[in-house]
Amino acid sequence: MRLGQRIGVVIPALNEEDAIAKVIGDVPDWVDETIVANNGSRDGTAEQAQAAGARVVSEPEPGYGGACLAGIAALENADVVVFLDGDYSDYPEEMANLVDPIAKGEVDMVIGSRVTGESEAGSLTLPQQFGNWLATRLIRLIWGHHYTDLGPFRAIAMPALEQLQMADRNFGWTVEMQVRAAEEGLAVREVPVRYRQRIGVSKVSGTVSGSVKAGVKILYIIGRQAIFRVFPPRARGGPPSQPRAPRRDSSL
């Protein structure tokens, strides 16, 4: 527990047997529950995670977002949910910087920015850097919300997460969360985080096809939500949107 709030950590993982125990080992002691969402790993990821003290849930359907959703569903009683990758590129020991502003009631969501933090040489590939630059500028242009990164290390209050009604099951998870947060008027803060070269090969940025698919999906999510901004789902026969009054964090 942190500042009176129960903290749950969700770690989506695919073939991370060499890294996952290191990630779990660096999760702070005040975290109440650590869930590893095993996304169809063909190695010893699940066994290593269990041995390190995490609870493992299975989501065999490939997809980062699907694994995150499975992890969320497995949490028992979290007030704040933290997401981080299972490849040891994030620094879990910096988690308090993301959790505390939420636990204090200052904001709804905190994004760990690798762009404003210290990134190890080679940890952010050129496609990642360009994708971040393009996506965050499109979000600012369309929704007027300033982000610098789509980084995976992030924390969000559970009521805010439920309000976002997250649905993307693969490459669009992070950008969907940030666009939906802007649409729903959540108070969002970015904090600088460190970032290092991952252990193993990235399933996204480590291949040309993965980078292309991720880029296309990110642009699709932004484009789709921009269309919904002009033609709300209710007008198109979908469920009505229920945005709340905007909150703005003064740090943005």
Q: How confident is the model at residue 237 (pLDDT cuts 50, 70, 90)?
A: very low
Burial of 242 (0-12, 13-18, 19+ CB in 10 A): exposed
Confidence at residue 243, expressed as pLDDT on a 0 to 100 scale? 43
Confidence at residue 235, expressed as pLDDT on a 0 to 100 scale? 47
Q: pTM of the predicted model, to two decimals?
A: 0.89
94-112, pLDDT tens digit by residue? 999 999 999 999 999 999 9
Q: What is the mean pLDDT of residues 134-155?
A: 97
Given a cut of 80, whether residue 204 has pLDDT beyond it is no
Hey, what's the torsion of the CAs at 34, 37, 42, 43, to 10 degrees? -10
**Which residue intervals of the chain are DSSP H helices?**
20-25, 45-51, 64-74, 95-103, 126-143, 158-164, 173-184, 208-230
Assign 138 to helix, strand or coil.
helix
Confidence at residue 211, expressed as pLDDT on a 0 to 100 scale? 76
CATH number for the domain whose boundaries are 7-230: 3.90.550.10
Q: Nearest to residue 154, comparing CAs of 93, 81, 252, 87?
A: 81
Contact in structure between 109 and 156 (CB atoms under 8 Å): yes
Confidence at residue 245, expressed as pLDDT on a 0 to 100 scale? 46
pLDDT greater at residue 211 or residue 62: 62
Q: How far apart are CA 108 and CA 188, in angstroms?
A: 6
Q: What is the mean pLDDT of residues 82-102?
A: 98
CB atoms under 10 Å from CB of 17, counted, come to: 19
Q: Nearest to residue 153, comparing CAs of 174, 184, 129?
A: 174
Q: How far apart are CA 152 and CA 12, in angstroms?
A: 10
Cα 102 to its chain centre, rounded Å, is 15
C-alpha count within 13 angstroms, C-beta hemisphere, residue 31: 27
Q: How confident is the model at residue 249 (pLDDT cuts 50, 70, 90)?
A: low
Q: What is the mean pLDDT of residues 206-235?
A: 82
121-136, pLDDT tens digit by residue? 999 999 889 999 999 9
Domain ranges within the chain, ordered by starting residue: 7-230
Q: How far apart are CA 91 and CA 146, in angstroms?
A: 24
